[in-house]
Structure 1
Amino acid sequence: MTENKVKWGIMGAGNISRKFASDLVHSENADLVAVASRTEGKAASFASEFNIARPYDSYDEFLQDEEIEIVYIGTLHTQHKECALNCLKAGKAVLCEKPFTMDATEAEELIQAARENNTFLMEAMWTRYLPAIVQAKNWLEEGKIGEVRMLTANFGFDVGWSPNSRLLDKKLGGGAMLDAGIYPISFASFIFGQQPTEIKSSAHLGETGVDEHFSALFEYPDGKTAMLNSGVRLNFNLANDAIIYGTKGYIRLPNFLFGDGAYLHQAGSEVVEFQDDRKLQGYIFEAEEAMRCLREGKLESAIMPLDETHDIMKTMDTLRKQWGLEYK
């Protein structure tokens, strides 16, 4: 029976959409009914893989499908605003893959459209909903490590050298910031609940003009700090770890992007360990949050509020300005 399930459509049939779909099909609350791609035949292949009833080679035809309630947007970064805007105007709720948009101006336009159309909109920052991250947040709210004073977060990988790679194409939003660095930046925002008042950073712009790696120091009121590192071309993977330091202890997330586990360290106490033994990749949790919001009639998620998404985009704009990086 699918009558009470939320009807999903997917725009874009690339790798990230495939990851999302492979989790979504396991949800008891979701029914994936349509997929669209502008590349001829790609939607049909995707639909066959995930048993989706209706593939579309046209976004316009996809948006006319009245059964679709919410759309996951997994297109190229540069297409997020256009796709999300068209969905909102068609009255369809939107879960938009990160980065939400290319810059804060585009983000503001989308948020305004969602509010004008009274339609749900959320950035797909999937890491916020992972059980280990949720557990770490709960420990913080319970005061387990006292007042948070600083954190470190690192995420990066080696894309290798190919001048035709999307990840090295400045016009497509390539580089560390939007594909990797956004995770530690959003993590710092999630933990501190605000944006930094001072930002100091340095980036290496490679041969194609993208930020191949960067480091940033965020300073907050009362002397709190966050040290963030990211890269996409370092010939190795970064540690992909995060540590939150408080006045009474610290929380270690050794694989924070994927949320495999969390470790609570308190002076004079044994380490408390939380392990997530999930079988799925983890994209299902953001989908469940979006569906919960829809069932409850909410227009945005309290875990990933639209104003925070906008503020994070402004922080990233500030970083790019410091580096002299423009996506053109």
Structure 2
Amino acid sequence: MTDDNGALRWGVLGTGGIAHSFMEGLRATPTARVTAVGSRTRERSQEFAAAWGIPRAHGSYTDLAADPEVDVVYVASPHPWHHPHALLCLNAGKHVLVEKPMAMNAFQVSEMTAAAADNGVFLMEAMWTRFLPAHRLARELIADGAIGELRQISAEFGVNAPYDPDHRLFNADLGGGALLDLGVYPLMLASWYLGELTLVGATRRLSPDHMVDTHTTMLVRGEQGATATLSCASLTALPDRAVLAGTEGRVELPLFWAATDLVLHREGREPETFHRPFRANGYEYEAEEVARCVAAGLSQSPDMPWDESLRLAVLTDRVRDMGGLVYSAPTVKAVPL
């Protein structure tokens, strides 16, 4: 299911800001061709299609999922609807790349991976940070023992957004909160390096209406005893830096979630700086991973497998449980398919 040149035929579900960002990266991916877009209204779909030169514009997500000219769908809707929209596409026989977080809770993630398995199609959470060249290099350096034994990780991601209870970041009906939107990045980083994580503790600050978190800090422990301190915030600008410290040095990643640079500090040596720029905006690398896996007949990526998405969802569930925040189905507004 590719075009005559071997390129995957992509459909884009959703027309918000993240969909535009993904399109910029996809445009730099030779193994991709965007054939269709779907939105809640034909007008929005047509506007997006005109902006990016996409030949087919659907006025519903159901029509996009049924489009025979689409091989893989990028689900870019707000995260409360990742679950129904991904299921719609998976059950239509489409491969799916779904924005992070994969779903609102671990149960939904389990249903999505089961649907992918039942339909024999590929599914991946769009954790684009894992596929960036700077992070690939950091992994190689640490695996080669450049900093000795990894003992401690610190990572934080925070923005100082204006408070608006109707905005996606602060609206519980839209799955708001710093944890789900931003906290998945430091959690992902810790899980990537430390394996199965145990949540030792978490603390949070709530929004003025007490409906979502605006600042959450977590302490976790990895399989071998290494620890990580992780923070996210929606009303406070944080340094957005990650530090991976070992027995013989450390790796620092400025703007770690979108890293193009890293600094290696080793005992007795001058710091070494490495620059790994994007070809476009960084989203191209996860798209290439989808193409590689589909071409190889894989149902999941070895670098972002289903069990990793489930582990992250379980962790965010536990952090939210500590604060008594529950996103139940009746509180999430329905969106037409």
Match status 1:265 vs 2:265: yes
Q: Structure 2 CA distance, aligned partners of 1:279 and 1:33?
A: 22
Residue 180 of structure 2 corresponds to 178
CA deviation after TM superposition for structure 1 residue 194, in Å: 2.1
Q: Percent identity?
A: 37
Separation in 2, partners of 1:142, 1:219: 22
Map 1:215-230 to 2 at 5 A: 215-230=217-232
Number of residue equivalences? 325
Deviation of the 1:136 alpha carbon: 0.5
Give the whole-Å Cα distance in 1 for the aligned partners of 2:298 and 2:192.
20
Quote how far apart the aligned CAs of 1:167 are. Answer: 1.0
State yes or no: 1:211 paired with 2:213. yes
Aligned to 2:334: none
2:124 aligns to what? 122
Match of 1:165 in 2: 167
Aligned equivalent of 1:278: 278
User: Using the alignment, how far apart are the partners of 2:68 and 2:78 within structure 1?
Assistant: 25
The SS at the match of 2:204 is strand
Q: Deviations over 1:221-280 (max 9, x none)?
A: 44311001110012xx21000000111111000111111201111111232221023352
TM-score (norm 1): 0.96
Give, in whole Å, the separation in 2 of the partners of 1:40 and 1:212. Answer: 35
Q: Which residue in 1 is equivalent to 2:201?
A: 200
Deviation string, structure 1 residues 131-186 (Cα, Å, up to 9, x no partner): 11111011111111111101000001022121211111012110101111110011
In 1, distance between residues paired with 2:12 and 2:200?
36
Q: One-letter code of the match for 1:194?
A: E
Query: Where in structure 1 do 4 or more consecutive aligned residues deviate above 3 Å?
Result: none
Cα distance in 2 for partners of 1:75, 1:247 equals: 43
Contact kept? 2:195, 2:223, Cα under 8 Å: no
- Choose which of 93, 98, 101 in structure 1 pairs with 2:103: 101
Q: CA deviation at 1:2?
A: 5.1
Distance in 1 separating the partners of 2:225 and 2:84: 40
Q: Tell me what 2:242 maps to.
A: 242
Where does residue 8 of structure 1 map in the other structure? 10
Q: Any conservation in 2 of the 1:240–1:256 contact (CA below 8 Å)?
A: yes
For residue 53 of structure 1, what is the aligned residue in structure 2? 55
Distance in 2 between the 1:215 and 1:113 partners?
33
* AA aligned opposite 2:200: I
Q: Partner residue of 1:142?
A: 144
**Cα pair distance change 1:222/1:303, threshold 3 Å:** closer
Q: Could you tell me whether the CA contact under 8 Å between 1:22 and 1:50 is conserved in 2?
A: no
Q: Match of 2:258, SS? A: coil
What is the Cα-based RMSD across aligned positions, in Å?
1.2
Equivalent in the alignment of 2:314 = 314
Q: Distance in 2 between matches of 1:266 and 1:144?
A: 7
Q: Partners of 1:222 and 1:182 in 2: how far apart?
A: 22
The one-letter code matched in structure 2 to 1:212 is T
Distance 2:225 2:298 in 1: 36
SS of the residue aligned with 1:257? helix
Aligned partner letter, 1:224: A
**TM-score, with length taken from structure 2:** 0.94
Contact 1:120 1:300 in 2 (8 A): yes
Could you tell me how far apart the structure 1 residues matched to 2:42 and 2:119 are? 31
Residue 295 of structure 2 corresponds to 295
Q: How far is 1:45 from its partner? A: 0.6
Task: Work out the CA distance in 2 between the residues paired with 1:249 and 1:179.
Answer: 31
Matches of 1:324 and 1:149 in 2, distance apart? Answer: 31
Deviations 1:94-118 (A, max 9, x none): 0000010000000001011111111
What SS does structure 1 have at the residue aligned with 2:200? strand
